[in-house]
Amino acid sequence: MKKHNFFAGPAVLPEAVKKQAGEAALSLDEMGGLSILEISHRSTFFSDVMEEAQSLVKELLGLGDDFDVMFLTGGASSQFYMVPLNILGSNESAAFVDTGTWSTKAIKEAHRYGNISIIADSKDKNFSYIPKDYDIPTDLRYLHLTSNNTIYGTQLKSLPETNVPIVCDMSSDIFSRKIDPSRYDIIYAGAQKNLGPAGTTIVITRKGILGKTDRDIPTMLDYQTHINKGSMFNTPPVYPVYVCYLTLKWLKELGGVENMAEKNHEKGHLLYDEIDRNPCFEGTVNKEDRSLMNACFLLKDSSKDDIFLKMCDDAGIMGIKGHRSVGGFRASIYNALSKESVQVLVDVMKAFEAKNG
């Protein structure tokens, strides 16, 4: 039976990428039959992979030469402290919009390095919406946003109007839609949602934003260290970076971010239309703020949750159970998940209605 991977992360990867990555784990012709797992990161082969992966990130996101791209370790959570460590002076201020678990964690870490304020949040309704129409101070070093909230199923549809530099955690929707690079000074994203396996994190910085703090930054935590060395100051996570490289190539061959955005809209609307139509289910998020990456929904009769989960399991659907913070169900419909898999989920929802509605 074909499996349909709705896990929130580590998440589904393209079949072609998994096949090529699997073959490389056994043998690379370019390296005389050595495994990608055992080659030197100083080899010409991997140096070319790293360089091309960085170039593809720029190409797919529309970034110019005024940006640097790094592949780092530590997950996106490490960026919660690396961002303020690198750009926030001890007497400077940064503001956050708190839209869920990950922004809350980022706020906690940033408090160590400067003056931090929360200028908007959606805690009052369990992060089921994106705050709007809030005031943004003009004297900020940066404003931190989270573009997509994996746990709660909300997504930022547009950026607030401000001249303040914007830092954005795009861990769960990077490469899923077009962005305006001119609006950002730092973008970071863990790979394990839309790009590759766990183990590496993309960090994108605008040139000129670094080197202005009043602190001595440890070498390994200094962005400039990794920019200067092309993300190879120390041994990088070779295999995760290689899989990211393959996924970036796959995305380009499919027509890039614009084409992927169309596919994501089709998948998202297919599922949300069923949630809204089916009398057994209801969404948990304001419709205007619904994520196209993580769709959260409930059974109106929660006593039948296990019945629905069993039907999903019988259909090969995996990872559909919701996060404990929300309950119910969460379907993560990242770039590599096919529309066919979403249709299987929709068919199960219809079958559940026929038997239990």
The model's pLDDT over 138-171, given as tens digits with 9 standing for 90+, comes to 999 999 999 999 999 999 999 999 999 999 999 9
**204 Cβ contact list (under 8 Å, min separation 6):** 57, 61, 63, 67, 68, 69, 70, 184, 186, 187, 188
Helices (H), ranges, 223-304: 223-228, 238-253, 256-277
Give the DSSP per-residue string, 147-215.
Answer: SEETTTTEE--S----SS-EEEE-TTTTTSS---GGG-SEEEEETTTTTSSTT-EEEEEETTSSS-SSS
Three-class SS state of 330:
strand
Assign 126 to helix, strand or coil: coil
Strand duo 115-121 + 93-98: pairing: parallel
User: Band of the pLDDT at 22, cuts 50, 70, 90?
Assistant: very high
Average pLDDT over residues 331-352: 98
Confidence tier at 1 by pLDDT (50, 70, 90)? confident
pLDDT at 357 over 90: no
Domain positions in the chain are 15-253, 256-356
Please tell me the predicted confidence (pLDDT) of residue 214.
85
> What tokens were used for 355?
């038997």
Per annotation, catalytic residue among 102, 185, 222, 267: 102
- Class at the top of the CATH hierarchy for domain 256-356: alpha beta
Neighbour count for residue 121 (Cβ, 10 Å): 17
- Taking only the tens place, the pLDDT of each residue in 235-272 is 999 999 999 999 999 999 999 999 999 999 999 999 99
Percent pLDDT > 90 in the chain is 98
| Percentage above 70 pLDDT, the chain | 100
Among the options 68, 169, 173, 222, which is catalytic? 169
Phi/psi for 245 (5° steps) reads: -60, -45
Whether 102 is a known active-site residue: answer yes
Q: Can 250 be counted among the known catalytic residues?
A: no
CA distance 45 to 28: 10
Catalytic member of 98, 173, 185, 193: 193
CB neighbours of residue 111 within 10 Å: 12
Which DSSP symbol is given to 290?
Answer: B
Q: In Å, what is the CA distance from 71 to each residue of 51, 57, 127, 194, 226?
A: 10, 10, 30, 15, 8
Q: Which of 286, 347, 341, 345 is nearest to 321 (CA)?
A: 345
Class of domain 15-253 (CATH, top level) = alpha beta
Peptide linkage before 10 cis (omega within 30 of 0): yes
pLDDT (mean) for 70-97? 97
pTM score of the predicted model: 0.97
For residues 236 and 135, what is the distance between their CA atoms, to the nearest angstrom? 41
Angle ∠(80,126,120) on CA atoms, nearest 5: 55
